[in-house]
Amino acid sequence: MYSIVPEQHVILLAVIWLTLGMAHVLLLATWSSIFRLVIAEVTFGLGPSLFRWGRLTFRLVPLGGSVRYEVGPDQVARSGQPEQLNMAALLKRAGAATMPIATLLAVATIGLGFGAFDYCVAGFRQLWQGAWHPISIAQQLITDSIGFCAMSTLVVSYCAAATKFCVLNVLPLPGSSTGWTLDIVLRAAGMSERQLIALRSL
């Protein structure tokens, strides 16, 4: 449908997704502070570290990021192992992991109205189709997204992308909010750090 798209719309879509990743990290740090979790480091991006400013670390590839917490003696379970956190600390971390997605979805709903729900439903279908057909359907979906940006305002484009970003983070993938929450649940079930690392490598 959109065989030729202007370069500025490709750049716009890339910038929107990059800023959504940065916003997710900022919201995670903000909600972690609200839940009174002690933050050791907030990292923006992936790959080699470029520079560090206080507790902020900026890496080479500007994709996503992470928040690392300090573990105090009041957060460690009776086993005494640093990776075995008590239930209160685990619940706080789970809450901090899920609230950024709820915040982004709320912002998207303000911009799109109840249509945000339709975008989310379509997002699940699109991710499923794109995963099974990465050559044909996935590329067409990317092209359609660029075309959507070309025909829509910046606010609508950003809010629509935010719904897709939320859908992506709902899936139990490594690095997603649900993946992180699942990691916390497994810790609560008694899994050690070594077992979690082995599970992630599967």
Residues 34-72: pLDDT tens digits? 988 888 888 888 888 888 888 889 988 888 788 888 765
Is 60 within a domain?
Answer: no
Report residue 48 as tokens. Answer: 């080699």
Domain containing residue 177: 7-22+80-200
Note the pLDDT tens digit of each residue in 161-178: 999 988 888 877 766 777
Task: Count how many domains the chain has.
Answer: 1
- Is residue 103 assigned to a domain? yes
In a domain, 43, yes or no: no
Q: What is the pTM of this model?
A: 0.77
The CA angle 94-100-105, to the nearest 5 degrees, is: 125
Within a domain: 96: yes
- Tell me if 128 is assigned to some domain: yes
| Residue type at position 198 | A
In a domain, 85, yes or no: yes
* Spatial contact of 18 and 63, defined as CB atoms under 8 Å apart: yes
Domain-located, residue 179: yes
In this structure, is residue 182 part of a structural domain? yes
